[in-house]
Homo-oligomer: A and B are copies of this chain.
Amino acid sequence: MRLIRLTMVVAAIFIVTALVARIRPAHANGGAGKQPLIQLEADFMKAAAEKGSKGYMSYYADDGVEVPNNAAIIQGKANIAKTMSFLDDKNNHLAWTPVGADMSSSGDLGYTYGTYEFHAQDKDGKAIVEHGHYTSIWKRQHDGNWKVVLDMGNSSPEAGK
């Protein structure tokens, strides 16, 4: 009888824990969930700065989608990679700053958005700077790693706006 009681108490704890986990509202870990994505973005930018297009593309999912400004939507990492060789030119430098982020309560889908600056040189070697916004959607993959499943960019009128 003691064993049955103990089993029932353990079962009750399991039930309550599992049910609370299921009914937890979407926003419950919205705050705590942002930090891993902000850290990911910093790692992502470091990889692009140090390893160029290969470093940048290492953060994309195989089925990732690029939604570029003034160009057609690109489906798949292999096709996106073909457009990113400009990151291998040492005169070019792409830097971005997250403004906000959020994650699902299940911790497997999240997004970041913010501003970017692209520093390059024109044909005469003169420094040029482009400003814009981005949104990146991140999804946890089968192996537990986070990858970009969608990235979109557009233009902003001035730096950081």
Seen from chain A, the residues whose Cβ lies within 8 Å of a Cβ on chain B are: 4, 7-8, 11-12, 14-15, 18-19, 21-22, 25-27, 65, 67-73, 99-100, 102-106, 108-111, 113, 115, 133, 135, 137, 139-142, 149-150, 152-158, 161
Let me know if B161 and A73 touch, CB within 8 A.
yes
Which residues from chain B contact A68 at a C-beta distance below 8 Å?
A: 154
A27-B142, A135-B135, A161-B72 as given contacts; A105 in contact with B102, CB under 8 Å: no
Copies of this protein in the assembly total: 2
A18-B21, A133-B73 as given contacts; A154 in contact with B67, CB under 8 Å: yes
Known: A67-B113, A102-B139. 9 other contacts (CB 8 A): A8-B11, A22-B22, A26-B139, A69-B154, A70-B155, A111-B111, A135-B137, A137-B137, A154-B155
